[in-house]
Amino acid sequence: MLLHKVKDICDVTRIMSIKAFMKEDNVDNSQFAEAAERYMDTIYRIAYSWLRNADDANDITQDVLMKLYRTENSFQSEEHLRNWLIRVTVNACKSFFRAPWHKEDDIEKYAESLHFEQPDYRELFEAVMKLDRKYRIPLMLFYFDGYSTREIAGLLGISENTVSTRLSRARAKLKMYLEEV
């Protein structure tokens, strides 16, 4: 995997604040805790791909998990829950991205703080992060989260052909970036 588990990267205070919030409500939170643990990585990856800022991605991750905790929705399946979390994450990122104080981290500086299993993974990470958001998000959902082009189209609100085109262009751009290195 390119990145450490998000729980290793994420700020411990963020997780502690969620746990403190859960204790205040005195509710059985085992299902929430399991879902949060299972999907935290995915939420963070999507948020970081959108925002390119680790602190902002942590904030979005926390906000999405809090929305999950507070939701009254009943999820029909794990797939329904996962799709809902990704949709909420994308919407939160779009809202945050429009904020005037939004800033992006230096990708190379952030990559320095990560541990990669192989040196080539670092180059791949940097190349993926160079892509425009419209190429980066479908690429992450397809290769890292295992979504089909049809599912990505539904999550992002674009046509399946557009997703296929963006994946093709993303692969071509990645190939070009990686040949430069």
Task: Give the residue from 46, 12, 66 showing the smallest Cα distance to 144.
Answer: 46
Task: Give Rg (Cα) of the chain.
Answer: 17
Beta strands (DSSP E) in 17-82 are none
116-181 folds as Arc Repressor Mutant, subunit A (1.10.10)
How would you label 103-120 residue by residue, b for 16+ Cβ within 10 Å and e otherwise?
eebeeeebbeeeebeeee
Return the domain boundaries, the chain: 1-102, 116-181
Q: What is the pLDDT of residue 150?
A: 93
**pLDDT digit string, tens, across residues 133-147:** 889 889 988 988 888
**pLDDT digit string, tens, across residues 56-82:** 889 999 999 999 988 887 888 888 898
- For the chain, list residues with pLDDT below 50: 1-28
Q: How far is CA 68 from the centre of its chain?
A: 15
User: In this structure, is the dihedral angle defined by the CA atoms of residues 60, 99, 147 and 113, taken in order, positive or negative?
Assistant: negative
- What CATH number matches the domain at 1-102, 1.10.10, 1.10.3720, 1.10.1740, 3.90.1210? 1.10.1740
